[in-house]
């Protein structure tokens, strides 16, 4: 029989190390790499009419803008590119636009869209993302508590926190731009992870109801063994289309799929190796406290 519960002291530190590395890199870089969506700035969509060398375009934009603008460019759709900078004035923006049109011999109509995002809007997005995650976690806690018990709800929320922290660590380590895709990725993984966890908890409850005399840790180990194949197969089938998006997608899609792939793996890891053992720990903790209360009488 798999001894996952007994090896919890091995599985948990693996996640803690990744989260710690992410926290260190967060401090080293002075925060996340916030995209225009959050930090504010300018985005310019241009139809180039042909494939262009992004490294060459990035260098040209850098040379054509003042220091501190931190310009970047990436493919948007087909031969379209999106250029992003920190907040710049109208004069600098118009000069950059004219320089690009001249270098690549483009008509003014090639500039499809220019947006200026205020930092206040970015702060509002961050606030909404935090609220959405907290509300989702709270509703899931209530649902799982009603369906199972409070201890399972706490274990599930701890696993959700684990998955979110792992994703944040990946964002910090690899300097992936934090933008609106970040919100979508977080909420997607929260939903995926809780589904996996509930499947595991359901099997534990079923097996425990059949044999309540068995040690709860043994029941959890048996249940995890029974659901392991399902968890692996579900993760693989979910990962395949995400990997295809990473391979064939444009830069913005790839930036979305990297944390999504990590989140899928983290969600599976927490559902299989963390959720059950945490439930066992909480159940044993409650039993220990109950014995202590009885002993004091």
> For the segment 70-86, what is each residue's pLDDT rounded down to a tens digit?
788 888 777 889 888 88
CB 194 within 8 A of CB 169: no
Q: Write out pLDDT tens, residues 45-67.
A: 999 888 888 888 888 888 888 87
- 201 vs 185: CA distance, rounded Å: 24
Residue span(s) of the chain under CATH 1.20.1640.10 come to: 8-33+121-296
Query: Which candidate, 101, 114, 110, 100, places its Cα nearest to that of 64?
Result: 100
Least confident of 11-15, 124-128, 175-179, 190-194: 124-128
CA angle 125, 128, 168 (to 5 degrees): 80
Residue span(s) of the chain under CATH 3.30.70.2040 come to: 41-117
Question: Any idea which architecture 8-33+121-296 has in CATH?
Answer: Up-down Bundle (1.20)
CB 197 within 8 A of CB 159: yes
Which pLDDT score, from 0 to 100, does residue 20 have?
Answer: 96
Whole-number CA gyration radius for the chain: 24
Rounded mean pLDDT, 222-248: 91
Q: Write out pLDDT tens, residues 116-138.
A: 877 666 677 778 777 877 887 78
CB 111 within 8 A of CB 101: yes
CATH class of 41-117: alpha beta
């Amino acid at each position: 029989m798999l001894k996952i519960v007994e090896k919890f002291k091995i599985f948990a530190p693996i996640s803690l190390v990744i989260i710690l590395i992410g926290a260190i890199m967060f401090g080293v870089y002075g925060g996340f790499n916030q995209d225009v969506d959050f930090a504010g700035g300018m985005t310019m969509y241009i139809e180039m009419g042909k494939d262009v060398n992004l490294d060459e375009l990035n260098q040209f934009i850098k040379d054509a803008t003042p220091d501190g603008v931190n310009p970047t460019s990436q493919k948007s759709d087909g031969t379209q590119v999106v250029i992003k900078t920190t907040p710049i004035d109208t004069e600098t923006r118009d000069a950059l636009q004219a320089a690009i049109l001249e270098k690549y011999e483009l008509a003014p109509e090639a500039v499809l869209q220019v947006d200026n995002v205020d930092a206040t809007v970015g702060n509002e997005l961050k606030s909404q993302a935090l609220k959405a995650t907290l509300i989702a976690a709270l509703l899931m806690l209530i649902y799982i508590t009603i369906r199972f018990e409070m201890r399972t709800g706490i274990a599930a929320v701890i696993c959700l926190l684990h998955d979110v922290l792992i994703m944040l660590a990946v964002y910090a380590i690899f300097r992936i731009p934090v933008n609106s895709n970040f919100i979508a990725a977080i909420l997607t993984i929260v939903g995926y992870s809780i589904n996996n966890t509930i499947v595991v908890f359901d099997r534990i409850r079923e097996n425990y109801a059949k044999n309540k005399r068995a040690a709860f840790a043994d029941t959890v180990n048996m249940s995890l063994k029974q659901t392991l194949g399902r968890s692996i197969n579900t993760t693989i089938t979910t990962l395949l289309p995400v990997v295809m998006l990473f391979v064939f997608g444009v830069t913005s899609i790839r930036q979305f799929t990297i944390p999504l792939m990590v989140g899928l793996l983290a969600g599976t890891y927490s559902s299989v190796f963390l959720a059950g053992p945490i439930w066992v720990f909480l159940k044993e903790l409650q039993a220990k406290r109950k014995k202590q209360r009885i002993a004091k009488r």
